[in-house]
Amino acid sequence: MGTILVVEDNELIMRSIELSLIREGYEVVTATNGAEACEWLDITRFDLVITDILMPISDGMAVLKHIKKDAAKSNLGIIVISSTSRERAILEAFDLGADDYISKPVLPAELAVRVRKVLGTKAVEQELSEHGDS
């Protein structure tokens, strides 16, 4: 179904998201901060990244900037999750390429729907770009 990178510093939230996605049939890789996520992004192909915004060491914005600077990752789906209600941070995440935003706590059913939506949209975009090139 797809490979998803989950970036979350709270172990309990990360495991909850991971188990929810595995139940939906996705392969899941986890990272506890932005620096670790960027390392994974450099060595593995993902279909979607789900990242928290506020994390120690390196935050979710660093992950988004890392993705944005690599043209090969232009079709990567991105969902940002956060407990922050700071509008500026949320808008910055969208400016950096986020496709969706979910407030914590993350509900498994909502997550499943949003993941399918983002992956479906990315698949259509990919198909259109491939047909546009031929």
User: Residue 133: its pLDDT value, please?
Assistant: 55
> Domain holding 34: CATH number?
3.40.50.2300
Our count of domains for the chain comes to 1
Coil, strand, or helix at residue 59? coil
Q: pLDDT, tens digit, for every residue of 43-98?
A: 999 999 999 998 888 899 999 999 999 888 878 999 999 887 778 888 999 999 99
Q: Which residues pair with 50 in a beta bridge?
A: 6, 79
**Domain enclosing residue 96, as ranges:** 3-133
Which of the 8 DSSP states describes residue 11? H
The alpha helices in 44-107, defined as continuous H runs, are: 60-68, 87-95
User: Residue 56: its pLDDT value, please?
Assistant: 84
What integer is the mean pLDDT of 17-45? Answer: 96
Q: pLDDT, tens digit, for every residue of 43-52?
A: 999 999 999 9
User: Residue 132: its pLDDT value, please?
Assistant: 65
Per-chain mean pLDDT for the chain: 91
